[in-house]
Amino acid sequence: MTILVTGGAGFIGSNFVLRWFDRSEEQVVNLDRLTYAGNLDNLESLDGTAGHVFVRGDISDAACVDALLASHRPRAIVNFAAESHVDRSIHGPEDFVQTNVVGTFRLLEAARGYFNALGEADRAAFRFLHVSTDEVFGSLGPTGLFTEESQYRPNSPYSASKAGADHVARAYFHTYGVPVVTTNCSNNYGPYQFPEKLIPLVTLNAVEGKSLPVYGNGQNIRDWLWVKDHCAALLVAAERGRPGETYNIGGRSERTNLEVVETICAILDEIHPKASKHRDQITFVKDRPGHDLRYAIDATKLEQELGWRAQETFDTGIEKTVRWYLDNEWWWRPLRDKVYAGERLGVLSEPEPATGGQS
């Protein structure tokens, strides 16, 4: 048997593929366009694995996707393919609309034709797992949690494009009967995360003696989810999730951005000490436009229906993550030298529009 994974050379996608081979001998066809954030080094441990078939291609390329479906006959499609960085979406929103909305539509359209041609038993077993984000729900106040019934209120081009993709996926279930299962996750962290994201950026800047930028006053709150816990949830959602349903995935680990940065500094003070404290490198910078104040996930539905629960606490997961970056310079050094050196992204020239997040 075979599954098709799109975006499987990215951060979450590659962790999912690695997790898949830890528990299954089924073939994985891995379709990835290898944009700046797609990295085959993430999958280096699978070199020589016969069951891993990598194809460089785009989910928007209908001919490519149709050919893969026809030749490999997957029992499931798991869609990670997306432009995912909020700051980049501020400067280049078109790429996000094209990949996240149009690309998802074309992948679903290919899946619809494939699904309709399957025999009855294969149709009953087939799933299309659409992986999304909690950012589609917008910003929470100081209390409450996002549930599967929360209203969509995206505030950035990134979250708007993911919201659009979610709606297309929902429509393909209700209109065409494609057995779509959608997941909305909180902020992921862990091995192989591209260095522009908060945790790897702060870790590597701290090690290199650079400033540690914190947006605004650092009080924006995120619910942090260990990427391997997320992948375990996706496995059960792909296997046992009910078509047409959505499942929220969260770590129940809320932290302010400043708390995250200070935690990384404290870990580095202990395991990578220098003459001064790492927190002395913290610099507060102008907030980004549309910066949502708080995200927090209620994962009760997934926990009760499918029996999943996050295993890693933030305190244990963040130390594992920091140690992973310290131990794997071979992985991040080429990215820092040639792709992204830690520069600020998402800065608008004056005048800036009103923001809808933190006041």
In a domain, 66, yes or no: yes
Q: What is the pLDDT of residue 85?
A: 83
In a domain, 118, yes or no: yes
Based on its alpha-carbon atoms, the radius of gyration of the chain, rounded to whole angstroms, reads 20
Measured between its terminal Cα atoms, the distance across the chain in Å is 52
Catalytic residue among 114, 158, 189, 325: 158
Q: What is the pLDDT of residue 358?
A: 33
Measured distance CA(248)–CA(227) in Å, rounded: 14
Active site residue 135: yes
In a domain, 15, yes or no: yes
In a domain, 269, yes or no: no
Say if residue 351 is preceded by a cis peptide, omega within 30 of 0: yes
In a domain, 70, yes or no: yes
| Residue for token pair 């071979």 | 330
Q: What is the mean pLDDT of each run of 10 residues along the chain (359 residues)?
A: 97 98 94 96 96 98 98 98 92 95 98 98 97 97 96 97 98 98 98 96 97 96 98 97 98 97 98 96 93 96 97 97 98 95 73 32
In a domain, 276, yes or no: no
Measured distance CA(80)–CA(55) in Å, rounded: 15
Angle between helices 314-327 and 257-271 (to 10 degrees): 60
**Are the beta carbons of 62 and 70 closer than 8 angstroms?**
no
Summarize pLDDT for 110-121 with one digit per residue, the tens.
999 999 999 999
- The pTM for the full model equals 0.94
| Residue 318 C-beta-side C-alpha neighbours within 13 Å | 24
In a domain, 323, yes or no: no
Catalytic residue among 58, 83, 134, 229: 134
| Residue 299 C-beta-side C-alpha neighbours within 13 Å | 27
Catalytic residue among 32, 83, 87, 135: 135
In a domain, 321, yes or no: no
User: Using CA atoms in the order 299, 303, 308, 313, what is the torsion angle rounded to 10 degrees?
Assistant: 50
Measured distance CA(78)–CA(4) in Å, rounded: 6
Residue 172 domain boundaries: 2-189+226-252+294-312
Q: What is the pLDDT of residue 348?
A: 67
| Number of structural domains the chain divides into | 1
Active site residue 26: no
Active site residue 32: no
Q: What is the pLDDT of residue 359?
A: 24
Q: Label residues 60-91 b or e (16+ Cβ within 10 Å = b).
A: bbeebbeebbeeeebebbbbbbbbbbbbbbbe
Q: What is the pLDDT of residue 344?
A: 83
Q: What is the CATH number of the domain that holds 126?
A: 3.40.50.720
